[in-house]
Amino acid sequence: MSTLSDLVHAQGRLTDADVEWLHRLAGDGQLLADLASADIVLWIETSDGSFIAVTHSRPSGAATLFYRDIVSEKVRPQWRTQVQAAFESGEIVDSSSPDWFEETPTRVRAVPIVRDQGERVVLGVLTRHTNLGEARMPSRQQISFDECANDLMRMISSGEFPDLSAPTAPRRGAPRASDGLIRLDVDGISTFASPNALSAFNRMGFEDELEGESLAEVTTRIIPPSRQVDESLPVVVTGRAPWRTDIEARGVTVSLRAIPLKDHGTRVGAIVLCRDVSELRHQEQELITKDATIREIHHRVKNNLQTVGSLLRIQARRTHSDEARDALTQAMRRVEAIAVVHDTLASGLSQTVDFDEVFDRVLKLVAEVAAAPNTRARTQLEGRFGVLPSEYATPLALALTEVVTNAVEHGLAGQEGIVSIAAERTDEILRVTVSDSGHGLAEGRVGQGLGTQIVRTLIQGELSGSIDWKGSPGEGTQVTIEIPMRWILA
């Protein structure tokens, strides 16, 4: 399905600022549909003078008229005259008599979408399709919701809604009309509070009726004096700015969103949407705590591994046996390679790592440890590894440390040369090739040392991959590692 931006840009009539305005309005399409208990459709003019639907919002508490999606469809003949009239006049146009849609009586209202930037520009038309087939005696809440919808549509036709100063990305758990609605007058006094809104404030400790009360005074009474509040709270509970905030009292957290109501630029009241988000905020706090704990664990593991590496380095310097010194040095290098991965994990929220960053640090570690007095090795890297889960990053880093170190220590021992590492990643496989210009494999066969056994165990056992050595005396060595990506992406 085409997006709003695709459909608008295809007509080539509106600017990027106009498209942003339509996106803001479409973001509140569900709110308008719920308040009006009607389908809400946004139309823009096409190059042939007709209109095309770019968004559609169905009401949550009423039957929809459009069971099939109408986005990207042209306006139907029975609505075109009304939509055209609203677009050309810039005024709201109501249907003079009930309109029949698929044997269902409906009432249609066409509202021009106006963007006022020094001059009034009509961007398109919003239509409200009310199902009259389910008409019944409206409740006080339905009447109040309908009045709110009418106020917002009047603001849309005068270019006062949406408000560009409002936050563009709603927080998780943003309140909806059905979650709780409070209507305020110009002085911030509640003239209507839905049952859900009243229940939310009751759970925070307010025991009276909200209607007739100043919402600002109510929130002042229920918030503990010792609790620090968001600086945006006063302007939200008085309805003076289109912002969002949270109130917390008695272990209950309620999210508030204010929508100021204006008449020709003068504020005449506000709608305040509220929702009990206690469970959502509790889950978010748990996630934040767990993320912080995991990062701290990685940080401490890294520190402990570095301490172990330092102890091995000290022990290697004090030993008089060349064989023992080499074994300790190799162990130190392996421990520090693992520490690099934990250090990277400790710096982020995700349990994935940018392996290119990790391997860059591993190469520097190898160069420092493996270079002998008579050996001059240069390393070069081609391609990218990409992002890998932590459970794959550690064994791969350790395996590549062994392979590259072996190429420097043995392949280029006593000479100058190059170690090339090429990484190639596809959706199916990660292939890493390590080549050196050194002595090659003795007798053309792979050794059976501890390093080789470690590499085989890590690649084949932990990563379900394969490793292959090729080379002959005097012609260098090439090691190819292949890891199936289907296990990593699963």
Q: What is the pTM of this model?
A: 0.66
Q: Are residues 345 and 355 in the same domain?
A: no
d(CA 271, CA 475): 79
Q: Is the dihedral of CA 483, 488, 489, 490 positive or negative?
A: positive
Q: What is the pLDDT of residue 474?
A: 67
d(CA 18, CA 14): 6
Q: What is the CATH number of the domain that holds 193?
A: 3.30.450.20
Q: Are residues 333 and 376 in the same domain?
A: no
Q: Are residues 390 and 290 in the same domain?
A: no
Q: Are residues 149 and 20 in the same domain?
A: yes
Torsion on CA atoms 205, 207, 208, 214, rounded to nearest 10: 0
| Cβ neighbourhood burial of 41 (10 Å; 0-12, 13-18, 19+) | buried
Q: What is the pLDDT of residue 490?
A: 43
Write down which residue in 238, 257, 276 finishes a domain. Answer: 276
**Residue written as token pair 């010792």:** 226
Q: What is the pLDDT of residue 407?
A: 79
Q: What is the CATH number of the domain that holds 72?
A: 3.30.450.280
164 is a domain residue: no
Write down which residue in 305, 324, 349 finishes a domain. Answer: 349
Q: Are residues 332 and 397 in the same domain?
A: no
Q: Are residues 272 and 290 in the same domain?
A: no
Q: List, edge to edge, every strand of the sheet that includes 190-193.
A: 190-193, 181-185, 266-276, 252-263, 244-249
Contact status, residue 190 vs residue 213, Cβ threshold 8 Å: yes
Q: What is the pLDDT of residue 370?
A: 52
Q: What is the pLDDT of residue 281?
A: 79
Q: What is the pLDDT of residue 371?
A: 53
Q: What is the pLDDT of residue 380?
A: 83
Q: Are residues 269 and 287 in the same domain?
A: no
379-432 pLDDT tens trace = 888 888 888 887 888 888 888 888 888 777 776 766 777 888 899 988 888 999
Q: Are residues 306 and 242 in the same domain?
A: no
44-77 pLDDT tens trace = 999 888 999 999 999 998 888 888 889 999 999 9
Q: Which amino acid is at 50?
A: S
d(CA 131, CA 486): 50
Ranges in the chain, pLDDT < 70 = 1-2, 135, 168-172, 288-289, 347-350, 366-377, 411, 413-414, 442-448, 472, 474, 486-490
Q: Are residues 407 and 487 in the same domain?
A: yes
Q: What is the CATH number of the domain that holds 391?
A: 3.30.565.10
Q: How many domains does the chain have?
A: 4
Give the length of the chain. Answer: 490
Q: Are residues 344 and 457 in the same domain?
A: no
**Residue written as token pair 């059976």:** 448
Q: What is the pLDDT of residue 420?
A: 86
Write down which residue in 93, 123, 157 finishes a domain. Answer: 157
CA distances from 297 to 292, 294, 349, 355, 422 (A): 9, 5, 12, 20, 33
Residue 236 sits in which domain range? 177-276
